[in-house]
Structure 1
Amino acid sequence: EKRAVIQIEKNGYPDLIYINAAKIFQGIHTEKSEDKIQVRYGDNSESPMMAFKDEHSRRVSYELAFNTLKYQDLLEEILLDSRTYPCYSIPDELTSLLVVMLYDLQDRKFKKRKIFAEEELVAEVQEIEDYLYSYRTKLAAALARCRIKYDALSIEYFVPETIWKQEQRASTLPLCFWINTFKISLEDVIRDLEMKGFRKVESVSDFDHYTYAVDQHCPDVLVFPSSLREELLNFDLFADCKLLLQ
């Protein structure tokens, strides 16, 4: 049976995701020696992390922060080359938010973000979004110049080699999900998966795309092919914390 490939359109995230991702990125960004610093991140260590709405929000915030970290050097170069930075109306304490939102803007091909219904808006996010969007043509041109300069077909070229190798290894490992039995039973999970077209197999060696296996040592753990990561993480089972990624 053939299944349609699900294309997830990139519309951006709610404001609170950007705030939390920026806070995370602030704590993990690569700090450079004083003689090499061109982009200053200030100190917003006293600003609190917003409460995560749910497990999905937490995961997305961390993914956005770590994706920004992977491309930190490129994003900084784009900001400088386009003369989007420095901006004297944006304090150093908001630089992390600026860089995080730039990563997302280029990931959306510099298209305008979709505002979600009943979304809690944050003034700083709105301000930086408007600022970046007003520079979108210059930012896109700066990205193009960087790719030409480094002969890069895509921005993946700019990922540090050590991170790229780690990601390559991780991408081949099967995905393990723990069934949150406080919220759902194994039988109900299996029923839900079968309705989505999944088929149970005996072991990972039998994987064939839309298949899964029950862990032989822990029956509350399901194992899936790594190729299904994005699709699985968008399931209601995961968003509702009925399945938890290990």
Structure 2
Amino acid sequence: MTLIEKNGYQDSVYINAAKIFQGVHTKKLKDRQLVRYGSDAGSPVLTVKNQSFLRVSYELAFNALKYQDLLEEILLDSCVYPCHSIPDELTSLLVVMLYDLQERKFQAREIFDEEEPVAEVRKIEHYLYSFRIKLAAALARCRIKHDALSIEYLLPEAIRKQVQRTSALPLCVWINTCKTSLEDVFGDLKKRGFTRVESVSDFDRYTYCIDQHCNDVVFFPSSLKEELLNLDLFADCKLLLQ
């Protein structure tokens, strides 16, 4: 099952991410509350298909959270928000899907045929895409105002440095020996073109190394994250990202 795509996610991922975002978004004082998120009473009921599905949902939600101020500014500056046809209860979905839309450079999403469409997702998607030029212009104005090469430069410096450090770290993966064996995993990786090296200092694209102290812990280059999470080994929970 494909979950991570440069051209978008499944409808249910957006719904999950919106539920997560609704519970963690930064709540502002009423006199500064220009974007309203509706009620968040009770714990959200998340769809859990597998570990990869849940991880992608959380990543999307927290990426939107990281850029919440920027996304709200884009919505307001473009006059895309407020909209009488979109209730406050869908604002979290609006923000989450806007984050993904700008990540795709405001290009159309690839529609998945693996599941039933979700009406709310399609509604928000159509609405945002119909205003993509205004949204892109609002983002450009924001970047010009702050002299930012990319949206990462709009983050506070401390957060930006933390993100940079995290993205440079090798990916730590645990082999779930309850579902597979070390030999099967290593064999599968070899078939997919991966080469085992001695240490992280030897990393070169499709390579991996085994932890010196735990032979069921494997490290990969951070640049391979998206490709790795799309492997059946992750979808089947045979490999677990730590």
TM-score above 0.5, yes or no: yes
Which string of whole-angstrom CA distances, capped at 9 and with x for unpartnered residues, describes residues 65-118 of structure 1? 111111111111111011111112211111111111111111112222222113
Q: Name which of structure 1's ranges 201-210 and 173-182 shifts more when overlaid on structure 2.
A: 201-210
Which residue of structure 1 lines up, in the alignment, with residue 209 of structure 2?
Answer: 213
- Residue 3 of structure 1 is matched in structure 2 by none
Mapped pair 1:24 → 2:20:
yes
- Which runs of structure 2 are paired with 1:16-165 in the superposition (5 Å)? 16-46=12-42, 48-165=44-161
| Cα drift, residue 190 of structure 1 | 0.9
- Specify the alignment match of 1:238 in structure 2: 234
Question: In structure 2, do the counterparts of structure 1 residues 124 and 9 end up closer, same or farther at CA, with 3 Å as the change threshold?
Answer: closer
Unaligned runs of 5+ in 1: 1-7
Residue 27 of structure 1 aligns with an amino acid whose one-letter code is G
Once the two structures are TM-superposed, the CA of residue 55 in structure 1 deviates from its matched residue by 1.6
Q: Distance in 2 between matches of 1:118 and 1:229?
A: 23
8 Å contact 1:70–1:160 — kept in the other structure? Answer: no
- Give me the identity figure in percent: 73
RMSD: 1.8
Counting matched residue pairs gives 239
Give the residue type in structure 1 aligned to 2:12: L
How far apart, CA to CA, are the structure 2 residues paired with 1:33 and 1:109? 32
TM-score (structure 2 length as normaliser): 0.91
CA distance in 2, matches of 1:202, 1:152: 39
Instruction: Determine the C-alpha separation between the residues in 2 that align with 1:127 and 1:46.
Output: 25
Q: CA contact under 8 A between 1:16 and 1:50: conserved in structure 2?
A: no
Amino acid at match of 1:245: L
* C-alpha spacing 1:202/1:241, structure 2 compared with 1 (3 Å): same
Q: What is the alpha-carbon distance in structure 2 between the residues aligned to residue 61 and residue 154 of structure 1?
A: 23
In structure 2, runs of 5+ residues without a counterpart are none
CA distances 1:179-211 after superposition (whole Å, capped 9, x unpaired): 111221100111111122222223334333332
Query: Within 1, Cα distance between the matches of 2:120 and 2:167?
Result: 35
